[in-house]
Amino acid sequence: MSFEGQVAVVTGASRGIGKEIALEFARHDAIVACVATTLESASKTADEIKAAGGEAGAFACDVSSAGDVEKLFADTVATLGTPAVLVNNAGITRDTLLLRMEEEDWDRVQDVNLKGAFLTIRAASKLMMKARYGRIVNLTSVIGLGGGAGQANYAAAKAGVIGLTKSVAKEFGSRNITCNAIAPGFIETDMTHDLPADFREYVAKHAPAGRLGSPADIAPAVLFLASREAAYITGQVLVVDGGLTL
């Protein structure tokens, strides 16, 4: 797979899965727009790409803000070019049991994880429609497929991302724009750093792969769905969980 000459916008690119996705695109010759909540954190990934001989730009954006998102894509076009790829990876958790969950905890998770994907897709699709080409990959979760105790807000948002993915695939398929989702299992990132030891043991015992995943397990799957070779795949959810949900 080669992404030479293609601009790939990756949200949540400062760490974990998002950073690895951005680096993997750069390894395959993409021009990477590294997006994070602060310019400083986005720049760390962009600078790493540049140091390795790649091309990248750093952009600060609150994906839950329509104004920020419109500016992001205007700045990306002006500095890097028209995006051919959008990866919606930005996400947060505010886990607690439903009876203890504050309205703010519910709203913020929906705003970032679901509304953020809507806003970036809306902005990117306008550009992709003019180009008559686009690849959109959304990061959902196995929690969005099966739920999770103490994660009602996160599960609802990630399930919403699946519905959004399928709707976008139907709306834009005739314009040579595909939209798919990746549903990671439990991946070693800052977000899962505090998982209890007994849960880690459960995953290792019940997942056929025998371990938690790593960001490097997710990035190649994202790149495949974002590639020219995946032109006839759209509206799908690819589960990358080491077989845990079998």
Q: Which of 133, 154, 202, 232 is an active site residue?
A: 154
215 token code pair: 């960001």
**C-beta separation of 213 from 239 below 8 A:** no
Could you give the CA distance from residue 9 to residue 2 in angstroms, rounded to a whole number?
16
Q: Which of 163, 49, 71 is nearest to 113 (CA)?
A: 163
Q: SS3 letters for 171-220?
A: HHHHHCEEEEEEEECCECCHHHCCCCHHHHHHHHHHCCCCCCECHHHHHH
Could you give the CA distance from residue 233 to residue 176 in angstroms, rounded to a whole number?
11
Per the annotation, the verdict on 154 as an active-site residue is yes
Q: In what order do the strands lie in the sheet with 237-240?
A: 55-60, 31-36, 7-11, 83-88, 134-139, 177-184, 237-240
**CA 41 centroid distance within chain:** 17
Could you give the CA distance from residue 114 to residue 93 in angstroms, rounded to a whole number?
12
Q: Which residues are catalytic?
A: 154
